[in-house]
Amino acid sequence: PSLRDEFCVWSTVGNGEAEYEISEEYILPDYLPDIKKILFVKSDVSETDEFIGDGRAEFGGEAVFNIIYSGDSGSPRCVSRAFNYLNGIELESIYDESIIDSRSHIKNRTVRALSPRKILIKAKVVTRINVRNKVCVSPRLTGGSGMEDEFTLERRVNYTDCVNFARITEKDIRMSEDIEYRGKYPISELICAV
């Protein structure tokens, strides 16, 4: 490389966090039986909207709740509800060209039956971000340029730490593993393995 080459890296310049609170009541539709007992709740976040502007980043999507409950007849039933959320984070280090790694998840989730027909869902959607900006440095030449100083030229470089980043999502992971089962029940009776 030439002495005039510019060296650039993406460097972490800031982190931020925001919370969106969900507190919603849901009344069962007429075609579903009354609630006897809530058996299982699964919740997940689907991040679909992203805005990045000078000084601000916004992330939005849906928080989805799948609730399995025992009906008044004793048979299990499932109901699903989704709520929109929007988290905004302000940082001086955010620019239009910034690379922002974000992760949203649900915490402090509670789901309870207020009556045989009504469910109360409470949770917080937390979004955490890591902001990276491009940092570039150029070598600087010092020394004389005359014939007598031709071999005294020095090159000084401002060194910047460099980190390789990799972002992996669940869709990028493929796994297959043989498992030897030694349980006392036939494998056909297994319901779920986590």
Q: What is the DSSP string of 22-68?
A: EEEEEEPPTTSPPEEEEEEEEEEEEEEEEEEETTEEEEEEEEEEEEE
Q: Where are the beta strands (DSSP E) in the chain?
A: 7-27, 35-53, 56-71, 76-90, 99-115, 118-137, 140-142, 154-156
pLDDT for res 112 = 94
Q: What are the residue ranges in the chain where pLDDT is below 50?
A: 1-2, 149-160, 164-165, 190-194
pLDDT in tens, 140-185: 655 555 555 444 444 444 444 555 445 555 555 555 556 565 666 5
pLDDT for res 167 = 53
Beta carbons within 8 Å of 120's beta carbon, 6+ residues apart: 23, 24, 25, 26, 110, 111, 112, 113, 114
Beta carbons within 8 Å of 52's beta carbon, 6+ residues apart: 94, 96, 98, 100
